[in-house]
Chain A
Amino acid sequence: MLRKAIALAALGLAFLGSPALAAHPKPVERDVAWSFDGPFGKFDTAQLQRGYKVYREVCAACHSMHLLSFRNLGEKGGPFYDPEYPNSNDNPYVKSLAKDIQVPDIDQDTGDAITRPAMPADRFPSPFPNEPAARASNGGALPPDLSVIAKGREGGPNYIYSLMTGYRDAPAGLTLSPGQHYNVSMNGDLTSAWKGDHHKVPPGGVVAMPPPLAAGKVTFDDGSPSTVEQQAKDVSAFLYWAAEPKMMERKQFGLGAMIYLLFFTVLLYFSYRRIWKNVAH
């Protein structure tokens, strides 16, 4: 009877496990081997620094990161962490990075709205004062905040990397409205905009953001080649750090916790065997 049930269950699982073909193709997602993959993964500091530069010089023109402060950049695991400055507010590099950016403030003497150079404790300033202003400058589209974008999209950093490198010329037969750009990695369904063969709908979707990256657009201080691939990879890693800044602490803590639990489990198992030794059960 048991065997029959297991066979039935296996049959059911095989039935369910067969791939369901969707009506339209899935967007292209390219996998990257990240330094932070796996249980021992760590952030690549140089990569985070390059990624911050891409964000600051390219993305920050339209995208806010309002959950981040400059001090975060110098915290443990962050791009500009320096063990000499455990309090990242004292980190001179972070201070100078902040100083280059103007943030809005109120003059304490006159009450006037002013701007001043940022301090490490300041949040990253937003490029637009409010949502209507952001929309007005971007053809009606709202550039999303990037603070936790790497956790807010299926695929995380792989998705961001794929999107950044997924811009293609629209295939003939795909009708795009003005201000739309074809991207093979964007989540979407192009069936209604596709004039060609219905079984060959192109993958991906349309995005309002024009291709943000270009070869040579950012000059990396460490001499890394400034290709679109490199920029995309680095900024994706940076955004993953921004979304999950405690990842390294988490994995290190996890290693200790797992070793402790494993030891405890083995200890309990042998205690169990010993205590139950003389009981028939």
Chain B
Amino acid sequence: MSGHSTYEPKTGIERWLDTRLPIVRFAHDTALSFPTPKNLNYWWTFGGILALMLGIQLVTGIVLAMHYVPHVDYAFASVERIMRDVNYGWLIRYMHANGASMFFLAVYIHMIRNLYYGSYKAPREVLWILGCLIYLAMMATAFIGYVLPWGQMSFHGAVVITNLFGALPIIGTPITTWLWGGFAVDNPTLNRFFSLHYLLPFVIAGLVVLHIWALHVPGNNNPTGVNVKSENDTVPFHPYYTVKDGFAIAVFMLLYASFVFYNPNVLGHADNYIPANPLVTPAHIVPEWYFLPFYAILRAVPDKLGGVLLMFGAIATLFVLPWLDTSKVRSMRYRPTARLYFFIFVLAALVLGFCGGKLPDDPVIFQPSGLMLLDADINSFVWLSRVATLYFFAYFWIILPVLGLTETPLPVPESISEPVLSHPATTPAGAVASPEKRG
């Protein structure tokens, strides 16, 4: 998509096509000859994994839609019919349901890699923002998809999440009525959710095309964060990264298959095998695991509107991240102080996820301390989520801006090839290596 093309049409038909629609040239330049930094590690394989997961979700989803009935009276039974009577329906549905979890697992690793290696920094801000849009669309798609089986968690999850918009002043109630297509979550809601669940994946696919386009203009970042200086720094995408990504994809598929075939329901919730009943509310309404950090942020704020704003604020923060991080050094390999704060950030995100699955008032350890701080015992998940939420926002809004201006980064290598060539495995005995530059 960028730079000069190395494609040479070999056959007559290729030459003929190349002067009319250079699609083979395009594919060649994008997927085969594209110059890629040669020092990408396995954290860089998740882009390929994500592309495959999107493909799997699309294919299995289209087949599921052939058998699914978007009606409150039939949705649950139609899903069970897929499981029982459709040929390999159990396989397709379990692939789709667990595929969503795997998709999120991969996207979180992809994002964490971005944060660590500073891939969002200039000139890749648009690439990062497109990624955030994909993530946002994925969250909407996953939430809507979870509603479709019309189990207890589907229904009550839909009620809780759509009601969040009701917290907005003045426009809140009209928005929820508009989303529901009525005055409660009911058949019109299920119908439009099905429609949107079919639409949004194609929106994601379109965004992915833009994402790859935006990637291929500046090219990949790499673990050193140093720009590509010469052809010595790169290898063609094929076969070097097709095979490396292929290997990583196969390992990821093993993990995915172990869920699909041996623990297909472990990531879901038992309550979703109870048909939806608006009159019976489950004891604990819990979203899927990939939403738990945001759920914890939502519940950390005692005020509903405040919680909603903070939760959406957490996602909005990601969009402005390229302008919050003031450091000129991309990779945290050369930012030891920032690296420490980064690991605490990852921990805070995991803690938030953990808190999201717990009851806010339950004690974190042993018995409640008896010490009340504002509205809750200090030994409670709600206070733990508050601390973690505070760190989540402080990391982006205070630590990254300030640290970039005050820290002293380690010396950054001149080029990608420099630390590559000083890698202990490739350095001849006796040569001077620089191990302190390794992450």
A residues near B (Cβ < 8 Å) are: 1-2, 4-6, 8-9, 12, 15-16, 18, 20-22, 39, 67, 72, 144, 147-148, 151-154, 156, 187, 243, 245-246, 249-251, 253-255, 257-258, 261-262, 264-265, 268-269, 271-272, 275-276, 279-281
- Residues of chain A with a CB closer than 8 A to B258's CB: 258
Chain B residues whose CB sits within 8 angstroms of the CB of A187 once the complex forms = 283
**Chain B interface, number of residues (Cβ within 8 angstroms):** 53
| B84 with A72: CB separation less than 8 A | yes
Please provide the chain B residues from 52 to 84 with a CB less than 8 Å away from any CB of chain A in the complex.
Answer: 77, 80, 83-84
Closest B residue, CB atoms, query A255: B261
Tell me the nearest residue of chain B to A9, going by C-beta. B347
Say if the beta carbon of B376 comes within 8 Å of chain A: no
- Chain A min CB distance to B380 (Å): 10
Q: Closest CB of chain A to B404's CB: distance in Å?
A: 17
Chain B residue at minimal CB-CB distance from A271:
B243
B83 touches A8 (CB 8 A): no
Q: Are A279 and B261 in contact (CB under 8 A)?
A: no
- Across the interface, name the chain B residue whose C-beta is closest to A2: B339
Find residues 16-33 in chain B having any chain A CB closer than 8 Å to their own CB: none
Q: How far in angstroms is the closest Cβ of chain B from A34? A: 14
B84/A261 in contact, CB under 8 A: no
State whether the Cβ of B171 lies closer than 8 Å to any Cβ in chain A.
Answer: no
Indicate whether B240 reaches chain A with its CB closer than 8 angstroms: yes
**CB <8 Å contact, B366 and A18:** yes
Q: Is the CB of B343 within 8 A of A5?
A: yes
Contact between A21 and B367, CB atoms less than 8 A apart = yes
Q: B423 at the A/B interface (Cβ < 8 Å)?
A: yes
Chain B hits for A276, CB < 8 A: 240, 243-244
Separation in Å of the B298 CB from the closest CB of chain A?
A: 20
Question: Taking the nearest CB of chain B, how far is it from the CB of A79, in angstroms?
Answer: 15
Cβ-defined partner of B251 (8 Å) among A6, A243, A265 = A265
Give the distance in Å from the alpha carbon of A272 to the alpha carbon of B243 in the complex. Answer: 6
**B243 and A8 contact, CB distance less than 8 A:** no
B125 close to chain A: CB less than 8 A: no
A250-B264, A254-B261, A280-B426 known; A152 and B271 CB under 8 Å? yes
Residue on A with the closest CB to B232? A280
A251 to B264, CA, bound (A): 11
Q: Is the CB of A16 within 8 A of B240?
A: no
B198 within 8 A of A: no
Q: Determine the distance from Cα of A39 to Cα of B259 in the docked complex, in whole angstroms.
A: 11
- Can you name 16 extra interface pairs (CB under 8 A) apart from A8-B344, A9-B343, A272-B243? A5-B340, A5-B343, A18-B366, A20-B364, A20-B366, A144-B274, A147-B80, A151-B265, A268-B247, A275-B240, A276-B240, A276-B243, A279-B235, A279-B240, A280-B38, A280-B417
A281 CB, nearest partner CB in chain B, Å: 5
Is B199's beta carbon under 8 Å from chain A?
no
Which residue of the partner chain B has the closest CB to A268?
B247
- Closest CB pairs A-B (n = 6): A254-B261, A5-B343, A152-B273, A265-B250, A268-B247, A151-B273
Q: Mark B327-339, 1 if CB is under 8 A from A, else 0.
A: 0000000001101
Cβ-based interface call for B91 (8 A): yes
Contacting A at CB under 8 A, from B258-306, are: 258, 260-262, 264-265, 270-271, 273-274, 283
Q: Which residues of the other chain, B, contact A268 by a CB distance below 8 angstroms?
A: 243, 246-247, 250
A265 & B254 in contact (Cβ 8 Å cutoff): yes
A148-B273 CB under 8 A given contacts A20-B365, A275-B240, A276-B244: yes
Interchain nearest-CB distance for B436 vs A (Å): 12
Which residues on the A side are within 8 Å of B240 (C-beta)?
275-276, 279
Residues of chain A contacted by B319 (CB below 8 angstroms): none
B420 within 8 A of A: yes
Asked if A246 and B83 sit within 8 Å, CB to CB, the answer is yes
Residue of A nearest to B384 (CB): A16
Which chain B residues border A243 with CB–CB below 8 Å? 273
Tell me the bound Cα distance from A39 to B261 in angstroms.
Answer: 8
- Cβ–Cβ contact A5 & B344, under 8 A: yes
Select which of B247, B270, B337, B354 is within 8 A of A269 by beta carbon.
B247
Q: Are B90 and A272 closer than 8 Å at their CB atoms?
A: no
Pick from B38, B80, B247: contact of A67, CB below 8 A. B80
Whether the pair B336, A148 counts as a contact (CB closer than 8 A) is: no
B250 in contact with A16 (CB, 8 Å): no
The answer for the CA separation of A216 and B270 in the assembled complex, in Å, is 33
Q: Are B247 and A265 in contact (CB under 8 A)?
A: yes
Partner pick for A253 among B91, B246, B336, B354, CB 8 A cutoff: B91
**Closest A residue by C-beta to B94:** A250
By the criterion CB–CB under 8 Å, are B340 and A1 in contact? yes
Shortest CB–CB separation between residue B88 and chain A, in angstroms? 8
Q: Which residues of A contact B366 (CB under 8 A)?
A: 18, 20-21
Contact of A148 among B80, B260, B283, B421 (CB under 8 A): B80
CA distance A154 to B272 in the complex (A): 11
Shortest Cβ gap from A153 to chain B (Å)? 6
Is the beta-carbon distance between A152 and B274 smaller than 8 angstroms? yes
Q: A251-B261, A262-B254, A281-B420 are in contact. Are A151 and B270 (CB under 8 A)?
A: yes
What are 26 A-B pairs with beta-carbon distances under 8 A?
A1-B336, A2-B339, A5-B339, A5-B344, A16-B354, A18-B364, A20-B365, A21-B363, A39-B261, A39-B262, A144-B274, A147-B80, A148-B80, A151-B265, A250-B90, A251-B261, A254-B260, A258-B258, A261-B250, A268-B246, A268-B247, A276-B240, A276-B244, A279-B38, A280-B38, A280-B420
Q: Once the chains bind, are A154 and B336 in contact (CB under 8 Å)?
A: no
A122 and B83 CA atoms in complex are apart in Å by 18
**B351 at the A interface (CB under 8 A):** yes
B414-439 residues at the A interface, CB under 8 angstroms: 417, 420-421, 423, 426
In the assembled complex, which residues on chain B have CB atoms less than 8 Å from the CB atom of A22?
362
CB contacts under 8 Å to A, within B80-128, are 80, 83-84, 90-91, 94
Asked if B187 is an interface residue, CB under 8 A from chain A, the answer is: no
CA distance in complex: A265, B420 (Å): 26
Name the residue on A nearest B254 (C-beta): A261
With the chains together, A254 CA to B420 CA distance in Å?
A: 41
Output the least CB separation between A116 and chain B (Å): 23
- A residues in contact with B137, CB < 8 Å: none
Shortest Cβ gap from B222 to chain A (Å): 10
Please determine whether A12 and B347 come into contact, CB atoms closer than 8 angstroms: yes
Report the Cα distance A279→B233, complex, angstroms: 10
